């Protein structure tokens, strides 16, 4: 599979619309309640939010996966990630995270934080496979995860 991980670009607007349209009911419930993350992403094309960065995974000419960071002015930004329904379960999330870790490490970041719904066991599987540690429960009721970079023995 021809897999490309790269920063989102200004000419990706229609592809990003197609990506969000390709998230099914459950994915939307976990990732895009009230269009929150879609709005956060689409703002990039009109009035980019400060301290945000957006990435895509392309397979062929389609955006199969998407992730974004915020608080990028800190050593440990927050992460959001989703894979389009028809590409889930094929390793796209894992490949995106590994590509992201290697980029962020090279840029001197210390790690990543994220929150996920307690019911989102697929996402928890992805995060734990990729070396995130569950720290406990965030005040929102979601689980809080931390990935730390920089250990010599880590390759993920």
Ligand X SMILES: CC(C)(COP(=O)(O)OP(=O)(O)OC[C@H]1O[C@@H](n2cnc3c(N)ncnc32)[C@H](O)[C@@H]1OP(=O)(O)O)[C@@H](O)C(=O)NCCC(=O)NCCS
Residues at the contact surface with ligand X, assessed by CB under 6 A:
27, 30-31, 81-83, 88-94, 116, 120-123, 125-126, 129
Give 98 or 108: the residue with its C-beta nearer to ligand X.
Answer: 98
Give 57 or 104: the residue with its C-beta nearer to ligand X.
Answer: 57
Give 92 or 104: the residue with its C-beta nearer to ligand X.
Answer: 92
Residues composing the chain: 156
- Shortest Å, Cβ 116 to ligand X: 4
- HSE (side-chain half, CA atoms, 13 Å) at 9: 7
Give 27 or 41: the residue with its C-beta nearer to ligand X.
Answer: 27
- Shortest Å, Cβ 94 to ligand X: 3
**CB-based burial label for 152 (10 Å; 0-12, 13-18, 19+):** exposed
- Shortest Å, Cβ 32 to ligand X: 8
- Shortest Å, Cβ 17 to ligand X: 17
């Amino acid at each position: 599979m021809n897999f490309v991980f790269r920063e989102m670009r200004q000419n990706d607007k229609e592809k990003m619309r197609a990506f969000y349209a390709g998230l099914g009911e459950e994915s939307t419930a976990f990732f895009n309640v009230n269009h929150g993350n879609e709005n956060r992403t689409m703002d990039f094309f009109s009035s980019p939010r400060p301290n945000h960065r957006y990435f895509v995974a392309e397979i062929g000419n389609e955006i199969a996966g998407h992730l974004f960071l915020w608080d990028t002015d800190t050593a440990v930004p927050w992460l959001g990630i989703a894979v389009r329904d028809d590409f889930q379960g094929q390793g796209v999330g894992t490949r995106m995270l590994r590509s992201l870790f290697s980029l962020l490490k090279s840029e001197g970041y210390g790690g990543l934080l994220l929150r996920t719904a307690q019911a989102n066991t697929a996402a928890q599987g992805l995060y734990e496979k990729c070396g995130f540690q569950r720290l406990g429960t965030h005040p929102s009721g979601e689980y809080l995860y931390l990935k730390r970079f920089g250990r010599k023995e880590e390759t993920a």
